[in-house]
Amino acid sequence: MNLKSFPVALVAAAVFVGALFAPTHSGGQTGDDILLVQLTNDLTTQQATISDNQAKIDAKLAKIAENVRLARIYAGRAGGKVP
């Protein structure tokens, strides 16, 4: 072996040994993939909760609006001032 090619051979051997011990992709889900799925599920649950809450708020506002409408009708019939 020539002394000039010794460092090249040493580097090549180091790369080969490093490739043997390098982690490989397992094909399964990684921690980031699992975290992303969990966050997506949490977000979906939160959106459903927000949607349900908004429906409840809309129903309560409709009930209040109806009560105000009836109060104005009764106040008008009683001779009161209707704003």
Number of domains in the chain: 1
Question: Is residue 7 in a domain?
Answer: no
Question: Is residue 18 in a domain?
Answer: no
Q: Phi and psi for 81 in degrees, rounded to 5?
A: -80, 130
Question: Is residue 53 in a domain?
Answer: yes
Question: Is residue 78 in a domain?
Answer: yes
Query: Quick one: pLDDT at residue 56?
Result: 96
Amino acid at 71: A
pLDDT in tens, 28-61: 667 788 899 999 999 999 999 999 999 999 999 9
User: Which residues contact residue 72 at a Cβ distance below 8 angstroms, ignoring those fewer than 6 apart?
Assistant: 82, 83
Q: Phi and psi for 3 in degrees, rounded to 5?
A: -65, -30
Name the pTM for this structure: 0.53
Instruction: Give dist(CA 6, CA 77) in Å, integer.
Output: 107
Domain limits at 60?
Answer: 30-83
Question: Is residue 39 in a domain?
Answer: yes
Question: Is residue 15 in a domain?
Answer: no
